[in-house]
Amino acid sequence: MHNDIAEVLFTEDEIARRVDEIGAQITRDYAEATDEGIVLVSVLRGAAIFMADLARRIELPVEMDYMAVSSYGDGAKSSGVVRILKDLASEIEGRHVVVAEDILDSGLTLKYLLKNLASRHPASLEVATLLRKKTLAQAKIECKYIGFECPDRFIVGYGLDYAERYRNLPYIGVLKPEMY
């Protein structure tokens, strides 16, 4: 798999340091806000690795929950139609919710998801994204916590995949064009 990577954008150590920083910031931001802790919500599958690492770095009670959504008609370009395939198991009304996202690309799915979650009346709703791509057509989404800004290239690793491969790479790299 490593030979399929053209360039490493973020090393395992860089990712770990940045996730530590985000976890510490979330701990500070919510330290006085709640006795219940926060609910971390991951969008499956890509963000699961980021959320697991982030949860271990937050020094507050954390409940983890997952959603599965689909918005890609042909797998390469967003259709703009979002479907919830798996909903939350937790009630979030009156709770502090942080959505842990692997990458903010077009933002269409996340925009829909945030509207859906906001309708459930959480005490607060924020986004922690590991990566934010620099794209012109990106939906306007406020991300309180951003790991890294990244170029608009085909990237894999640390949860990000191509055809369900490369998620287990410990770093984030650019996939060689001949691989896709």
Looking at residue 74, which CATH number applies to its domain?
A: 3.40.50.2020
Domain that holds residue 79: 16-151
**In this predicted structure, what is the pLDDT of residue 116?**
95
Helix axis angle, 12-30 to 48-57, nearest 10°:
60
Centre a 10 Å sphere on the Cβ of residue 151 and count the other Cβ atoms it contains. 11
Which residues partner with 99 through β-bridges?
A: 41, 127
Domain assignment present for 10 = no
Domain assignment present for 3 = no
Asked if 74 is an active-site residue, the reply is no
Please name which of 39, 64, 147 lies closest in space to residue 103, comparing C-alpha atoms.
147
Catalytic pick from 4, 105, 152, 161? 105
Domain assignment present for 176 = no
75: left (phi over 0), alpha (psi -120 to 50) or beta: left
Domain assignment present for 83 = yes
Q: What's the rounded Cα separation, in Å, for the pair 67 and 62? A: 16
Name the domain count of the chain: 1
Domain assignment present for 163 = no
What residues have CB less than 8 Å from 121, skipping those under 6 apart?
Answer: 92, 93, 94
Contact assessment for residue 172 and residue 160, using Cβ atoms and an 8 Å cutoff = yes
Domain assignment present for 115 = yes
Domain assignment present for 173 = no
Residue 161, both tokens: 């995949």
Contact assessment for residue 130 and residue 158, using Cβ atoms and an 8 Å cutoff = yes
Residue 127, both tokens: 């986004």
**In this predicted structure, what is the pLDDT of residue 90?**
92
> What are the mean pLDDT values of the chain's consecutive 10-residue runs (180 residues total)?
97 98 97 85 93 97 92 55 90 96 89 95 97 85 95 95 95 96
Contact assessment for residue 88 and residue 41, using Cβ atoms and an 8 Å cutoff = yes
**In this predicted structure, what is the pLDDT of residue 81?**
75
In degrees, rounded to 5, the angle at the alpha carbon of residue 16 between the alpha carbons of residues 11 and 12 is 25
Q: What's the rounded Cα separation, in Å, for the pair 11 and 13? A: 5
**In this predicted structure, what is the pLDDT of residue 77?**
53
